[in-house]
Chains A and B, each alone.
Chain A
């Protein structure tokens, strides 16, 4: 079954969608979209370095993403203006990464594959890494689900309940780094945040509890991955962007349904 590249691609997309949904909910709730972008953009620098040093691009991307996420978290605790800081870091790491790649002579690199994903080229080994990473992210988020929710609602409330909000935020940082690393192959660094927030945001108008939003987001993400893949095959369009397009269509449809049903949102 895994011999078929379309099957492998579909499984890769489903794996990323499953991990992205619960994490994406927190990205939406905690207004971390830009933070996610910075982490994802930094991954291109990680990819450039791993190509230069001839190590696994998963490892390189993971390491640099985590480093980026951790740096931003630390700096924001010290009270830097986070919005500007993220803008500076996100785009400078992306630019530096692209420049470093251009220096790598002798290596033929399809830059587009890293920027927008190359899901059709997912190998069995890639699939194992994607599902391993996705399982880890889902395990982390489900393990800390309630503490993460309390921390998101009110940090003092978390302290009073005997939790350490900084530790919970570190869990999110870690999950984000892993998700970025495994999603590069599927949607590329520029569209990772789209996979995080669009399915979750689409699920918002249908959900009355945080749990339902995460589950529905996962379902929307999976359907988007499979349908997007199919659409890309039929219309000969780039796959990563096609998947995101399908997710966006879900978002528009559900937002309209939601606003008709409930005038407040």
Chain B
């Protein structure tokens, strides 16, 4: 049975239809990435899966006893809430300090155990969130634009860690991402969303569809075309080439 099964859902906010005719299945051990422009309903899809919003049509079925590890984009707490990395990790997963240390070591940030969450840098923060999500031994990891705010090497190494996690634990990964070049190399399947599923399939197939090119530009590799818009550094082509190499 699929871990997550989304059948023909529609989501409305007020009068606006945010999502319609969306089907999606997540199987054990696969990495699926949802891409799409802003306002395309990516986050709504994720919210419908975790039950934060009720679809107006269709249904979402989770495998019985499915354990979800959720990595939010950010935490919306203010500095008035004191919380150490250790306390945060032990909130969602009732576990011992020892397990936290191991999880942080795997994430390469073992020195952060006693730090305040509010004092972490963007990259450290995302690694801690991921380590915390993994503490509960999830069957599926959900990542909501988890690399937003990270620089290219930072997000590349973050995705390498996701790949390692999948390899080590066999959990499935569903992520929303803007890093198209990483998506192309690190995902088993890509779903291109724009209110509905425009196209879906392996990265190579998706990148060659006219729908994808219409949304993300029409270079030989749409991902790189978009990527060029964002930053204009001399070395970035090398950078992404390196990333692809490592991730592959």
Instruction: Please provide the chain B residues from 21 to 68 with a CB less than 8 Å away from any CB of chain A in the complex.
Output: 46-47, 50-52, 68
B91 at interface, CB cutoff 8 A: yes
The CA-CA distance from A210 to B77 in the complex, in Å, is 12
B15 at interface, CB cutoff 8 A: no
Contact string, B76-116, partner A, CB cutoff 8 A, digits 1/0? 11111111100110011000000000000000000000001
Q: Are A204 and B68 in contact (CB under 8 A)?
A: no
Q: Are B82 and A207 in contact (CB under 8 A)?
A: yes
B144 at interface, CB cutoff 8 A: yes
Instruction: Please provide the chain A residues from 169 to 212 with a CB less than 8 Å away from any CB of chain B in the complex.
Output: 201, 204, 207-212
Instruction: Pick from A44-52, A127-135, A155-163 the stretch touching chain B.
Output: A155-163
Instruction: Please provide the chain A residues from 15 to 73 with a CB less than 8 Å away from any CB of chain B in the complex.
Output: 28-29, 31
Q: Are A160 and B82 in contact (CB under 8 A)?
A: no
For B70, list chain A residues within 8 Å (CB). Answer: 156-157, 159-161
Contacts A29-B80, A210-B81: A154 and B47 contacting too (C-beta < 8 A)?
Answer: no
| Nearest CB in chain A to that of B46: its residue | A156
A146 at interface, CB cutoff 8 A: yes
Contact string, A53-95, partner B, CB cutoff 8 A, digits 1/0? 0000000000000000000000000000000000000000000
For B116, list chain A residues within 8 Å (CB). Answer: 208
Q: Are A149 and B91 in contact (CB under 8 A)?
A: yes
Q: Are B68 and A160 in contact (CB under 8 A)?
A: yes
The CA-CA distance from A207 to B80 in the complex, in Å, is 10
Give the shortest distance, in Å, between B245 (CB) and chain A (any CB). 33
The CA-CA distance from A265 to B116 in the complex, in Å, is 12
Q: Give the interface residue-count category, chain B.
A: 20 to 34
Q: Are B78 and A31 in contact (CB under 8 A)?
A: yes
B17 at interface, CB cutoff 8 A: no
Q: Are B144 and A156 in contact (CB under 8 A)?
A: yes
Q: Are A209 and B72 in contact (CB under 8 A)?
A: no
A153 at interface, CB cutoff 8 A: yes
Q: Are A208 and B82 in contact (CB under 8 A)?
A: yes
Contacts A161-B70, A210-B87: A155 and B52 contacting too (C-beta < 8 A)?
Answer: yes
A152 at interface, CB cutoff 8 A: yes
A150 at interface, CB cutoff 8 A: yes
Q: Are A156 and B50 in contact (CB under 8 A)?
A: yes
B119 at interface, CB cutoff 8 A: yes
The CA-CA distance from A208 to B52 in the complex, in Å, is 30
Q: Are B91 and A150 in contact (CB under 8 A)?
A: yes
**A152-B77, A155-B52 given; 12 more Cβ-contact pairs under 8 Å:** A28-B80, A28-B81, A153-B81, A154-B75, A156-B47, A156-B144, A159-B47, A159-B51, A159-B52, A159-B70, A161-B68, A210-B83
Top 3 nearest A-B pairs (CB, nearest first) are: A160-B70, A159-B52, A159-B50
Residues of A near any B CB (own CB < 8 A): 28-29, 31, 146, 149-150, 152-157, 159-161, 201, 204, 207-213, 264-265
Selected A-B contacts with CB under 8 Å, 9 pairs: A153-B75, A154-B75, A156-B50, A156-B52, A156-B70, A157-B75, A161-B68, A207-B82, A208-B82
